[in-house]
Amino acid sequence: MKKLLTEWRKYLKEAQDYVEMDSPLTYNRAGNVKRIALRDSSVEEPLDKHDTYFGDQSDSAGVGDDTIIGFLDYHSQGTTSAGNPYWYIDYMKTRGGFEGKGIAGQLVDEFIQRHAPDPGSVVHFGKVMNPQMWHIKEKMAEKYPDHQIIGAKGFR
């Protein structure tokens, strides 16, 4: 696992790092939702008014950090009957201007390497609402064939 993490991180820009925190969003399905976010300290563009959940906008539940370019909210579903970790991805978002640059895939990969590195671990994407996220789910299922990467299509 350490080798995979090292290999992946070499592709991160020097100004990028991951941070973990409690999610500032409220979810009905779980009370202890955590967040892994990708920060990029080189970001100089101001937040767009449509970048809900980013920055410290008073009208949205943001993270208060204008350098966050994407985040993944998750919570534990406990363990499987075999004792393997079972994780649920509650929500993912990439900041405007960073879509299509692999941020979401990087976040999922980092999440799996940190929290579900062992074979048999389950990562549930929930109801996937767009084809791009479904593609990431499928890509991770290929990359981690010894894991259970699951979810349901919520789009046509």
Q: Determine the pLDDT at residue 56.
A: 53
Domain boundaries along the sequence of the chain: 2-153
Q: Determine the pLDDT at residue 114.
A: 96
Which of 125, 119, 121 minimizes the C-alpha distance to 107? 125
Token pair 């990028």 is at which residue?
Answer: 16
Q: Determine the pLDDT at residue 142.
A: 97
Span 2-153: which CATH code?
A: 3.40.630.30
Run means of pLDDT, 10 residues per run, the chain, 156 residues: 49 77 90 93 70 55 70 96 95 90 95 95 96 96 97 94
- What's the rounded Cα separation, in Å, for the pair 90 and 79? 17
Q: Are 107 and 74 in contact (CB under 8 A)?
A: no
Residue 7: how many other CB atoms lie within 10 Å: 9
Q: Determine the pLDDT at residue 41.
A: 85
pTM of the model: 0.81
Q: Determine the pLDDT at residue 57.
A: 44
